[in-house]
Structures are given as structure tokens and as C-alpha cells.
């Protein structure tokens, strides 16, 4: 099946799958480039659906990584910069890449996690990491990646005016004990956050600052119906009206002397297949094209009403980000799986499913206006000090 796909000329790039093209004029006066494509082939190439990950395969993968990390630990550390840092086994090592620490060799994850908590049982920790890895993979249907980082956990208690007051406070650990216990022993292993038992007293001085002209941002997703990519004149007027939050923010900043620095339109579609007119125009999986078209619609119909100076929304002045967090025009997880070679929606993403709302959150069009930056102290005081704990944290993400 062949249909016409839409790309706005202002963002037209060379396409390897374009076969023929022609031009058309939109209702807003933009020139469109209509490219004939084979949607069936494009949708197959762009499908995110895959066979569900086998929990046994997930466990086998992380167990194999631990076996390699244990057996080849010395070699991995010695040859870290000669290829090992790019291999999957590298996720079982912590490497501090901060400039003043980047000469330190990588640390095996089980030893690094015990840095401030030497009584942790390594076998219990290893078992917990493996179990958490497998559970995360099952929940999100992916082969996870382990992330490690050093963090400071600031005690959520009193703020002290001087460093000496903070030092005096940590002499009595009783008020910090519950906070400390959360990162010790079995609780550290269960939470995969291991902390020292001695608070740092001197973190600070912390000072609260404020932006004199904070950025103005407005999510106008609600003005785009599912599978639609244009905004009606009445909807554009509503967004730009003086009662609108985005418009009010911009006008108040300008009234107070702010000068607009940058305008961007950030758009994303969910990975739920396009239907109806969107499917005919962009293909079922033309998410980047749909996202781009929505962004261009916002630029042509809303920005002229929001901003008084046309030069502020000229094509070379507005930044368009239509790739979404996944880089293909979508955000969020894939709502489909493969069953007997066919794409099927996962139950949790079907109507009434527990994760259906995530698809709406992954669909957005946001206009952001920034101003020449001015940062002022919120107060002229000396700031404050708060005790903190040095901690090690392990987390998981889909690759």
C-alpha cells in the first residue's frame, strides 16, 4: 500500500525511502512536501514490538556478567581503557569520571558498594542485585543495564547557620540514627543504597537563588486530539489569550524588562500506532512525522499570537525538537509485543490497562520561551549548613 507522507519543507531532510514528491499548501500557508512511501515496509522497519524477554534469559545474562567480572576482574581493571569500558561487563564496575578523580581505577561493584559499609555480606548483595535485575527486566520487558553512582543524601532536618553549629549537631547521632539506618546492613542491601554511618557536618553554605526572569513553558497537548496535528484558530486564540498561563507568563516578563533569548517547541508522540487520517498521511508508525507536524502547527498558528515580534519566531530562530526521548519521535516504553510474529498490544497498555495513562504522558507539545538570564540571591543571608551522608547507589534502566 502506498500513501502520501508529510514533511514540512523547513525541516526537510533527504530520505532514503522517498520515491516521488510533490508540493501542497496548508491552511496556514506552509509548503508541504508530500513523499510517496510504502507504509507496509516502513511500519515493519519502525515497529518497536519484540518477543517478550524470557526471565530465564535475563537471569542467565546477569549471572554470566558476574561470572566474567569475578574471573577477569584484574584484567578488566588493567585494560579498562583498552576496550573493557565499552563491554557489557563494565556495568558491574564503578568508574568515577569526574576530572579530579578520573585517574582512579574502576571498582568491582560488590566492593564499591561496601566502601562505607564493610559489614555488608557480598553474597547477599550479589543475590539482591541479580533478583532486582531480573524483576526490573520482567516488569519493563527489557534486558536492563545497571547504573552506579556516588551520591550525598542531605539530612532532611534542621538547617544550621554556621558550619560549627552543624558540627556540634552531628556529635549527637541519636537524631540522625533512623536516617543512618536506612543505608546500613540489610536495609542497604534491600534498598541498594549503602551509606556511611558518620554524617558530614560541613556541607554548605547552601544559598537559595531565584531567576529574575524564569523560563515560560506551556504544554498545549490537550489542543491536539489523538491522531490530529493541527490547531484550530479558536484553540490558538485560547492558548495565546491573556487568560492563558503561558501568555500571561511571557507578557509579565516582558513588561518587567525581560528580553526573549530563545524559543523552542518540543514535541513527542506515543508509540501507539497512528490511525485514521494520521495513518493515511504518516503511516501507522510515522511518529516522527506526526510529532514534527504538530510542532510546526504550533509554530505557525500559536507563536504569532504569543510573541509580538515576528523575528522571534522566524524559522532560523525557533528550535524544534520532535524526536521525543526515544529519538524516533516517541517517548515512553513500547506498548506492543510480538506473538507468533504479529504485533499485539500489551494488556497493560490496552484501554483500561494499568499503564494506559503513560501513553498520554508520552504525547506532548510544549512551547518554551527563555529570557536573557538574571539570577538573584533569594536573600542576602550567609546561607545554611546541613549534615549529609556519603552513599553508593545501584539502579536499573532499560537499554
Domain chopping of the chain, boundaries: 55-206+384-398, 211-376
Tell me the C-alpha to C-alpha distance, in Å, between residue 60 and each of 55, 133, 135, 224.
9, 11, 13, 45
CA distance 219 to 356: 20
CATH of domain 211-376: 3.30.1330.60
> Do the Cβ atoms of 84 and 323 come closer than 8 Å?
no
Q: What is the pLDDT of residues 331-383, one digit of tens each?
A: 988 999 999 989 999 999 999 999 999 998 888 999 999 988 776 655 555 67
Q: What is the pLDDT of residues 118-169, one digit of tens each?
A: 999 999 999 999 999 999 998 888 889 999 999 988 888 788 888 888 888 8
Residues 338-345: contacts with CB under 8 Å, at least 24 apart: 338/49, 338/50, 338/51, 338/52, 343/47, 343/49, 344/49
| Overall pTM surpassing 0.85 (yes/no) | no
> Do the Cβ atoms of 223 and 239 come closer than 8 Å?
yes
pLDDT of residue 5: 47
Give the DSSP letter string of 112-167: HHTTT-TTS-HHHHHHHHHHHHHHHHHHHTS-EEEEEEEEEEE-SS--BSSHHHHH
pLDDT above 90 as % of the chain? 49
Mean pLDDT computed over every residue of the chain: 84
Say if residue 13's pLDDT is above 60.
no
- Cα angle 76, 82, 83 (rounded to 5 degrees) comes to 75
| Dihedral sign (CA 18, 21, 24, 30) | positive
Say if residue 96's pLDDT is above 90.
no
CA distance 368 to 377: 24
Residue in the structure block whose three cell numbers are 581503557: 81
Winning range, highest mean pLDDT, from 163-167, 214-218, 392-396: 392-396
For residues 294, 295, 301, 306, the Cα torsion angle rounded to the nearest 10 degrees is: 140
Say if residue 199's pLDDT is above 80.
yes
DSSP H or E segment with residue 291: helix 287-301
| Dihedral sign (CA 358, 362, 367, 373) | positive
Amino acid at each position: 500500500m502506498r500513501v502520501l507522507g508529510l514533511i514540512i519543507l523547513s525541516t526537510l531532510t533527504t530520505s532514503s525511502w522517498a520515491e516521488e514528491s510533490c508540493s501542497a499548501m496548508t491552511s496556514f500557508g506552509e509548503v508541504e512536501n508530500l513523499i510517496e512511501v510504502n507504509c507496509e515496509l516502513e511500519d515493519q522497519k519502525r515497529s518497536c514490538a519484540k518477543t517478550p524477554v524470557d526471565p530465564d534469559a535475563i537471569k542467565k545474562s546477569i549471572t554470566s556478567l558476574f561470572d566474567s567480572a569475578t574471573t577477569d576482574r584484574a584484567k578488566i581493571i588493567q585494560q579498562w581503557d583498552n576496550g573493557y569500558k565499552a563491554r557489557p561487563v563494565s556495568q558491574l564496575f564503578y568508574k568515577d569520571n569526574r576530572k579530579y578523580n578520573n585517574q582512579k581505577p574502576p571498582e568491582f561493584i560488590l566492593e564499591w558498594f561496601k566502601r562505607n559499609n564493610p559489614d555488608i555480606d557480598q553474597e547477599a548483595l550479589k543475590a539482591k542485585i541479580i533478583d532486582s535485575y531480573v524483576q526490573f527486566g520482567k516488569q519493563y520487558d527489557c534486558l536492563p543495564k545497571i547504573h552506579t553512582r556516588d551520591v550525598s543524601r542531605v539530612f532532611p532536618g534542621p538547617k544550621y547557620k554556621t558550619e560549627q553549629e552543624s558540627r556540634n549537631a552531628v556529635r549527637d547521632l541519636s537524631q540522625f540514627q533512623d536516617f543512618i539506618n536506612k543505608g546500613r546492613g540489610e536495609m542497604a542491601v534491600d534498598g541498594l543504597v549503602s551509606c556511611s554511618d558518620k554524617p558530614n557536618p560541613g556541607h554548605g553554605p547552601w544559598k537559595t537563588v531565584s531567576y529574575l526572569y524564569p523560563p515560560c513553558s506551556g504544554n498545549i497537548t490537550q489542543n491536539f486530539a489523538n491522531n490530529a496535528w493541527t490547531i484550530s484558530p479558536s484553540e490558538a486564540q485560547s492558548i495565546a489569550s491573556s487568560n492563558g498561563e503561558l501568555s500571561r507568563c511571557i507578557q509579565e516578563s516582558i513588561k518587567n524588562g525581560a528580553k526573549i533569548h530563545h524559543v523552542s517547541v518540543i514535541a513527542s508522540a506515543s508509540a501507539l500506532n497512528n490511525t485514521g487520517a494520521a495513518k493515511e498521511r504518516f503511516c501507522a508508525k510515522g511518529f516522527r512525522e506526526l510529532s514534527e507536524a504538530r510542532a510546526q502547527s504550533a509554530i505557525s498558528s500559536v507563536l504569532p499570537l504569543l510573541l509580538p515580534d515576528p523575528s522571534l519566531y522566524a524559522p532560523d530562530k525557533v528550535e524544534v525538537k520532535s524526536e521525543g526521548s526515544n529519538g524516533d519521535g516517541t517517548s515512553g516504553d513500547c506498548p506492543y509485543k510480538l506473538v507468533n510474529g504479529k504485533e499485539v498490544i500489551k494488556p497493560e497498555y490496552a484501554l483500561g490497562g494499568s499503564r494506559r495513562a503513560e501513553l498520554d504522558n508520552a504525547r506532548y507539545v510544549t512551547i518554551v520561551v527563555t529570557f536573557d538570564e538574571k539570577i538573584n540571591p533569594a536573600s542576602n543571608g550567609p546561607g545554611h549548613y546541613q549534615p549529609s551522608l556519603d552513599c553508593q547507589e545501584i539502579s536499573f534502566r532499560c537499554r
